[in-house]
Amino acid sequence: MANSIAIIGAQFGDEGKGKIIDFLAENADVVARFNGGNNAGHTINVNGKTVILHLIPSGILHKGKINIIGNGVVVDPAVLMEEIEELKGKGIKVTPDNLIVSENAHAILEKHIREDKEKNMHIGTTSRGIGPAYTDKVARAGLKLIDYANQSNNSKLKPFLKNTALLINNLIDKGKKVLFEGAQGTLLDIDHGTYPYVTSSNTIAGGICTGLGISPKKIKTILGVAKAYTTRVGNGAMPTELKDDTGKIIQQKGKEFGATTGRARRVGWFDALMCKYAVMVNGLDALVITKLDILSEIENIKICVGYKHNGKIIREFSNNIEILQKCEPIYEELPGWKENLNDANDFNLFPQNAKNYIKRIEELLNIPVCIVSVGAERSQTIILRKEFLF
């Protein structure tokens, strides 16, 4: 059994990480965020009620968990305070005992949001000021939350601020079970994604160490979350994008509209090259496949197993934009299944073609699938391999 688990997006974000973190948080002691800011939107359904969290770790919905926002996160103080109030309004406890924010995290200021809207439209950012805030941090011109709180006399924020590196190392050393909550996905990573159409943080597992101040040796299990197909919000290459009716059907059925901006997500087939790259740069131990239920009733399901570029066949992912934009995906076709999977609770009883689809992904990526998700509810989560979980 793992004592620390990282949840990382294996695609372009929106893979359903929030739901999986919420599911695993039940057995965790600590949930910690290490990157991004309120560009994230984690939608969680509990007992028919929808909660969307942008900044606060999903563990807040469970009693008795410690939630940490690490130094690698950029925090819009106004959004943080609003989210705290909103959760409290829903009867959820949020105090400095169960939410601790790094005093070293940098503040997103109004000027950052203005600049994002003015300068980054071509990227299709979430306009939350994320890029400009990180830019100021790296340029050594940023404002840490502790300084923001002091300068603005923000007495509401101050009690939540601490040195979270000390705290989390302490908790890990005491044997507490920690979940590292990734935001966005591998292909949006500033270094390893489809630059410049990326976010401004390290979304990959390496970001956990810098974004929280812990050693790589302290991360035990790394799980990648991938949808059974691909989606992308914002601009940038997406080789398997579907512009036909099948794409529209998946978009509608999968409710592929952004949790943060409401923008329609671009939809495409599962890209095994891309996910295999995510397996490599993150060192994924196992995969969680979400939204498998959305593919029911599609006659033939495709998986991208190569790219054809300038007459050459490429079998390994490249984040070279020129290749990604111009390549033609090479597909393998698998027969689909008609059955609705929403009530399925035993993988052994899945339609054979749905099982084959998962098995083929395991073969292509060369890692096991440990969880399959077939709906938004906690109960619609099927465990295939317990050894990767708490």
CB 156, CB 81: distance < 8 Å: yes
> Amino acid letter at 46?
V
- Asked if residue 203 binds ligand IMP (CB under 6 A), the reply is no
Q: Binding residue for ligand IMP (CB under 6 A) from 126, 194, 240, 381?
A: 126
Report d(CA 346, CA 109) in Å as an integer: 48
- Residue 298: Cβ-neighbour burial (10 angstroms; 0-12, 13-18, 19+): middle
Report d(CA 389, CA 223) in Å as an integer: 9
DSSP 3-state assignment of 280?
helix
CA distances from 204 to 4, 34, 115, 180, 225 (A): 16, 10, 26, 11, 12
- Asked if residue 199 binds ligand IMP (CB under 6 A), the reply is yes
Q: Applying CB under 6 A, which part among 10-18, 69-77, 86-94, 239-247 lies near ligand IMP?
A: 10-18
Q: Applying CB under 6 A, which part among 8-16, 73-81, 325-333, 381-389 lies near ligand IMP?
A: 8-16
Report d(CA 214, CA 169) in Å as an integer: 7
Nearest position to ligand IMP, beta carbon: 234
Would you say 77 or 193 has its CB closer to ligand IMP? Answer: 193
End-to-end alpha carbon distance in the chain: 5
Would you say 19 or 309 has its CB closer to ligand IMP? Answer: 19
Q: Binding residue for ligand IMP (CB under 6 A) from 200, 221, 240, 282?
A: 200
Report d(CA 189, CA 158) in Å as an integer: 31
Shortest Å, Cβ 374 to ligand IMP: 21
Q: Applying CB under 6 A, which part among 27-35, 165-173, 197-205, 363-371 lies near ligand IMP?
A: 197-205
Report d(CA 198, CA 92) in Å as an integer: 33
Give the CA count within 13 Å in the CB-facing half-sphere of 111: 8
Of residues 210 through 229, those in contact with ligand IMP by CB under 6 A are none
Shortest Å, Cβ 368 to ligand IMP: 26
Q: Applying CB under 6 A, which part among 20-28, 61-69, 192-200, 360-368 lies near ligand IMP?
A: 192-200
Shortest Å, Cβ 275 to ligand IMP: 16
Which sequence positions are flagged as catalytic? Answer: 14, 42
Of residues 69 through 98, those in contact with ligand IMP by CB under 6 A are none
Tell me which residue of 115, 36, 47, 48 sits closest to 79, measured CA to CA.
36
Q: Binding residue for ligand IMP (CB under 6 A) from 46, 52, 78, 123?
A: 123
Would you say 124 or 368 has its CB closer to ligand IMP? Answer: 124
Counting residues that bind ligand IMP (by CB under 6 A) gives 21
Q: What is the DSSP string of 209-269?
A: HHHHT--GGG--EEEEEEESSEEE-SSS--TTB--SHHHHHHHHHTT-B-TTT-PBPEEE-
Q: Binding residue for ligand IMP (CB under 6 A) from 61, 68, 113, 130?
A: 130
Shortest Å, Cβ 384 to ligand IMP: 26
- Asked if residue 35 binds ligand IMP (CB under 6 A), the reply is no
Would you say 235 or 320 has its CB closer to ligand IMP? Answer: 235
Of residues 149 through 188, those in contact with ligand IMP by CB under 6 A are 183-184, 188
Strand extents, DSSP E, 281-384: 286-290, 300-309, 312-314, 328-335, 369-373, 381-383
DSSP 3-state assignment of 46?
strand
Binding site for ligand IMP (CB under 6 A): 12-14, 39-41, 123-126, 128, 130-131, 183-184, 188, 197, 199-200, 233-234
